[in-house]
Structure formats: C-alpha cells, structure tokens
Amino acid sequence: MKYHFIREEIPYTGDELSNHWIYRNYGILGDAVVAFVGPCEVDQEKMVDLEDILNDDYIYSKKMLNFIVEIFGISLQEGVLLQRLFSAIIEDRINMLMPEAGIRRRGDDLFYRETQKLSVSICTVSPTSILIHTGLNIDAAGAPVEAAGLVSDLDIPDVESLAVACMRTLAEEWEDIRLSCCKVKAVL
C-alpha cells in the first residue's frame, strides 16, 4: 500500500470516495491511502451510509483531515475490518502524542472524553475495489453533533505529521498482515 499526503486543500464532498479517484488524480496505482485537509460537506445523495440517510443525518465539518483508502481484490467485510483497524491505529497515534487525550474507539468512530465525536468514517464497495473515508475534525465548530477537533480541542497543530504517521503505520500493518498469512502452519 502506497501512501501520500496531498498538500493542497481539497473539500471533501463524497465524490472522492470513488473507484480510482487516487489513481486518476495523483497517478498512484494499486492499493493506496492518501490524506488531505479541507472542509467536509456531503450532500445526501452522495452519502453512502443508509442508516445516516434514513436518520436524516448530515455530514459536516468546518475543517477536516481526510483519509481515502482504496484496496483492490478484497471483500467488503475485509474492508470493514481494515477500516476499524485504521481507526485503532489513529486512536493509538493520537494517544501516543497526547497521552492525556484518552481517545477511545467505538466501532469505526473515535471519541474524545467519551462523548465528543472526533471522526466520521465509512467503508463501501466500488466495482473493483473497497473504499474507506475516515475524517478527523480539525476544527469542530459547527459540527452537527457534540464534537472535538484536532486543533480546536486536542491541540495537535501538525496534522500533516499525524496523517503521515497514521498512513505509514497502516501501510506497514497491511504488508505485515499479508505476510502473516504466509508463515503459519495450518492445524487440524
């Protein structure tokens, strides 16, 4: 899995969660994760979580650190497992930076002080890949739910370093997972 931090600001609208978006825009072919900063606002017709749609939820963040992951040749269920592992990786990384933050994961969500939502995340399927969007609030002002932001609440100003560390760990762990499948003896 290759990884890349995109320095230009890009609004996340939901269109970015599409087959080959990374390859078409950044020329990175194959399994990859990219990150970028930008406001996040997803129109309902571009939302992919039907539960959110049925609940009339909306997805908004004034400024967000966005990750897009695309993996080819795996099932949706594997994608959801990887999505949650990625949330655990981000949780660990923030807790290492700020041990007192006490970020906790519940499913694919990360919370600050138990109730302040730090993240949004979704995993879905395209015709040839699995796609994950995970976004971390940078500035939580105006969020539709009780929320926290990396800068506004957690005092982590260097989101690029955080993003790169999370992406590198994900890429290394994905490689390690694949190799783990190559060194175990089966049992009866």
10 is a site residue for a copy of itself (CB under 8 A): no
How many whole angstroms separate alpha carbon 83 and alpha carbon 79? 6
Asked if 16 contacts 64 with a C-beta cutoff of 8 angstroms, the reply is: no
If one asks whether residue 82 binds a copy of itself (CB under 8 A), the answer comes out as yes
Query: Is residue 88 involved in binding a copy of itself (CB under 8 A)?
Result: yes
Report the Cα–Cα distance between both ends of the chain, in Å, rounded.
33
Pairing of strands 109-112, 104-106: antiparallel
x/- mask, a copy of itself, residues 33-72, rule CB under 8 A, reads --------------xxxxx--x-----------------x
Q: How far is the CB of 135 from a copy of itself (least distance, A)?
A: 16
Please give the helix or strand (H or E) that residue 136 lies within, else none.
Answer: strand 129-139
Interaction between residue 77 and a copy of itself (CB under 8 A): yes
User: Which residue in this structure is represented by tokens 């138990």?
Assistant: 114
Stretch that binds a copy of itself, among 60-68, 144-152, 156-164, 174-182 (CB under 8 A): 174-182
Give yes or no for residue 184 binding a copy of itself (CB under 8 A). Answer: yes
Residue 123's CB: how many other CB atoms inside 10 A? Answer: 25
| Beta carbons of 79 and 139 less than 8 angstroms apart | no
* Binding site residues, a copy of itself, CB under 8 A: 17-20, 23-24, 27, 29-31, 47-51, 54, 72-78, 80-82, 84-85, 88, 91-92, 95-96, 99, 102, 104-105, 107-108, 122-129, 131, 173, 176-188
